Amino acid sequence: MRRWCFSFIFLLLLVFGQLDGLASSSSATTPLKKPSPKPNLLSPQDLLSFTHYLHTCPDAEGIIQNKVRAWVKKDYTLAASLIRLHFHDCAVRGCDASILLNHTGSERRAEASRTLRGFQVIDEIKAEVEKRCPKTVSCADILTAAARDATILIGGPFWEVPFGRKDGKLSIAREANMVPQGHENITALIEFFQARDLNVLDLVILSGSHTIGRSTCRSIQNRLRLFHFNGRHMMRDSSPLNATYMRVLKRKCGRSYDYVDLDGTTPRKFDNEYYKNMEKKMGLLSTDQGLYRDARTSPIVEALATQPELFMNQFAVSMVKLGNVQVLTGKNDGEIRGNCNFVNPRS
């Protein structure tokens, strides 16, 4: 393999050397025009900065950390809820806090958002930040940092959060209903992620956030049956559950609104057990188990099941990528909301 790589590099150098020789010989007879300088185009995420609030609100991160810590201490399930809330925000219109807007027809009122939690945590953080630094720190930045801090509090990795996102002014319920709900096929998931500049590795890694958190029994009703009706035909579950695990779930799921842990082994610990569970047919959602069955994702699942440090390190990388999805950073983009629930009144 090493010999092949050296050969390939040598070939590239040879080809480019020949091209350079051709250019040199032609320039002797034909004067070359001076190339026009290319415009230095920055992407929106390039305008994010780790020092964005260094002078305008230096206490912002500390406030967020302290508030998240206090809430998670009272209810540890809020950690997973904040991570999920961040994902739902970034999955629709990018990370612009549109999920926080609370009005008729907004993402927050969508069917897919019924079980989202953590809004009160963000509201409390925003209120405190506004006291210290009015009209300075965006709700989008607060939610992004809160998801990071929640991850750390339950044993997950640390990563630096670049700031400078602005808050969106538009939130549409039907768009929120396109967010994956746990029953899609892997091709649909890959396409959903790729549309947001996230790759197959990011899909498998971010799914690992299911190492903590809960799901309603309603979301797995079809998983608890060998066969189910899909609207037209009787279908056999393509990724059946471990028989013992299924019996446990049936006992816990007496009602559709009951909750079960996404990780049936270590539900309160941020670890790579989620991937080990798939190998034992204990992926709670069909999308979880599907990652182990699909040839495009199964090698990644197998690697993460045996390498906990790989999961931790890459989770931080993928969360940074998630937090940079379609951010609003331009001068005329978005706003800094005074209240995360509402767009600012027109002046």
Q: Residue 134 CA to chain centroid, in angstroms?
A: 28
CB atoms within 10 A of CB 330: 11
**Type of residue numbered 137:** V
User: Mapping DSSP to helix (H, G, I), strand (E, B) and coil, where does residue 272 land?
Assistant: coil
183 is catalytic: no
- Report H helices in 36-169: 60-74, 77-91, 119-132, 139-153
Q: Please tell me which residue in 88, 103, 228, 233 is annotated as part of the active site.
A: 88
- If we measure between CA atoms, which residue out of 107, 105, 102 comes closest to residue 89? 107
Q: Residue 180: how many CB atoms within 10 A of its CB?
A: 18
What's the Cα-to-Cα distance from 325 to each of 102, 184, 214, 311, rounded to whole Å? 22, 22, 25, 21
- What SS3 class is residue 129? helix
d(CA 263, CA 300): 18
**CA triple 153-182-342, angle to 5 deg:** 65
Could you list the beta-strand ranges (E) of the chain.
Answer: 214-216, 227-229, 234-236, 259-261
Q: Is 93 left (phi over 0), alpha (psi -120 to 50) or beta?
A: left
Positions marked catalytic: 88
